[in-house]
Amino acid sequence: MTEGYTALWSYAWDLMAGGVDITLERIATTGVKGVSLATSYHAGMVMLPHNPQQKVRFLEDGSLYFRPDPQLFGQLEIQPRVSALTEQFDPLEDICFGAKRQGLEVTSWTVCCHNSYLGSLHPELTIHNAFGDPYLFALCPSQPAVQAYLEALLANLSQYPLRTLQLESYDYMGFYHGYHHEKVQLELGAAAAMLMGICFCDACRQAATERGMDPVALQEAVAAWLVHSFESEVDDPSEATHEVLGALVPGMAAYLAMRDELTIKSLKGLIAASSVPLNLLGVKPQVLTAVQGQIAEITTCAYVGSAEEVTQATSAARKLAGDTHEVGVGLEISPKFTPTAANMAEKVSAARQAGADNLYFYNYGLVPMRSLGWLRMALRG
């Protein structure tokens, strides 16, 4: 068992609302060792139970919560959107200094390709499904302009005194993620949901052509299979592995392997761009193998109700990481998932017993004060 690093996922607006120093002092009293601060974040509506200024906030879609270095982004096709919170001062800089005064470390919680604002400005750079529809919430990591933007983002964040850069959505996003007022009335099976998320943008098609594939024919085959699946004219398997999808659509296994290659290429570019260690929120085994030793940590989210489920999720992550990478486990501490102090203590203990090096708790601003009190008891117990 190890106690390792512990942090509260946090938003800049929550830390600023009550005064950065006062809020960080309150966080420090819970016993955590740091905050994982959203520095690049997506759209949303959030309820804030203990925020002294507001109880419901509509987020600035696809914004940065620090002041970007114009020299890093100046010539890029994609330009960052900067939050209005940066008008008076740099929130990330202020929070980093405040955290140091409280003996806390700061991790950058960095959302990469999930960006509806940038996707709407640059639909040609987003994931396109087999029918040619762009997913405006999902930039495609195979696009050179997207890669250049993400590398500039990580290089810029590396200028701050951060423990790690915790990357979310750095890979291909899928069909289901949660767009505004999403309406999907069909119950898609595992294969259909996966195939709806396969990208056929120009960059992905070009990469496939360079590898001797026929992406146009493959795209047409995927679209045809999906149309049949919508009417239940084909069987939809309960899993969507490369092998299963390759059997449904000839050539798909090779296309999926290509996507993994492109993800690895993109990730290596991000590794080179950052002078701060990287922490991946979710990772495929084949991708992790390719960057073995170049990533500091992998984090799995165990947003579940029981200690047994936490043990299962942590054990799987520990097995994947081996001895090369630290394992972080994210726990949802709201009453919805964690209804009692005893339940929280059991899950914290379960994660540590199953091999978690570090623990992340979701989320400072979204939970009531009683949950923070339970966290204090769980960490001190």
Mean pLDDT of 197-205: 98
Closest listed residue to residue 266, CA positions, set 241, 252, 283: 283
pLDDT at position 178 is 66
What band does 179 get if pLDDT is binned at 50, 70 and 90? Answer: confident
What is the H or E stretch that residue 285 is in? helix 285-290
Rounded to whole angstroms, the Cα distance separating 152 from 158 reads: 10
Mean pLDDT of 28-47: 97
Query: Which residue matches tokens 């499904």?
Result: 129
pLDDT at position 234 is 87
Let me know: does 266 contact 295? Beta carbons within 8 Å: no
Query: Which residue matches tokens 């009692």?
Result: 340
What band does 134 get if pLDDT is binned at 50, 70 and 90? Answer: very high
Mean pLDDT of 63-70: 98
What count of other Cβ atoms lies within 10 Å of the Cβ of residue 53? 11
Residues in the chain: 381
What band does 1 get if pLDDT is binned at 50, 70 and 90? Answer: very low
Mean pLDDT of 78-97: 97
pLDDT at 211 over 80: yes
Let me know: does 114 contact 173? Beta carbons within 8 Å: yes
Let me know: does 279 contact 167? Beta carbons within 8 Å: yes
Domain count, the chain: 1
The beta strand positions in 61-119, using DSSP E, are 63-64, 81-82, 105-111
Mean pLDDT of 312-319: 97
In a domain, residue 1? The reply is: no
Mean pLDDT of 181-185: 80
Domain of 342 in residue numbering reads as: 6-182+277-380
Alpha-carbon torsion (262, 263, 265, 266), positive or negative: positive
Q: pTM of the entire structure?
A: 0.95
Rounded to whole angstroms, the Cα distance separating 207 from 259 reads: 9
In a domain, residue 109? The reply is: yes
Mean per-residue pLDDT of the chain: 96
In a domain, residue 134? The reply is: yes
Cα 104 → chain centroid: 22
Q: What percent of the chain has pLDDT over 70?
A: 99
- Could you check whether the bond before residue 343 is cis, i.e. omega within 30 degrees of 0? no
pLDDT at 3 over 90: no
pLDDT at 7 over 50: yes
Mean pLDDT of 223-242: 92
pLDDT at position 108 is 98
What band does 376 get if pLDDT is binned at 50, 70 and 90? Answer: very high
Let me know: does 36 contact 17? Beta carbons within 8 Å: no
The two tokens of residue 24 are 């960080």
Rounded to whole angstroms, the Cα distance separating 114 from 117 reads: 9
What band does 225 get if pLDDT is binned at 50, 70 and 90? Answer: very high
What CATH number is given to the structural domain containing 61?
3.20.20.80
Query: Which residue matches tokens 């069987």?
Result: 235
pLDDT at 135 over 90: yes
Q: Phi-psi bin for 40: left (phi > 0), alpha (psi -120 to 50), beta?
A: beta
In a domain, residue 208? The reply is: no
Mean pLDDT of 366-372: 97
For 109, how many CA atoms within 13 A lie in the half-sphere containing its CB? 19
Mean pLDDT of 284-292: 94
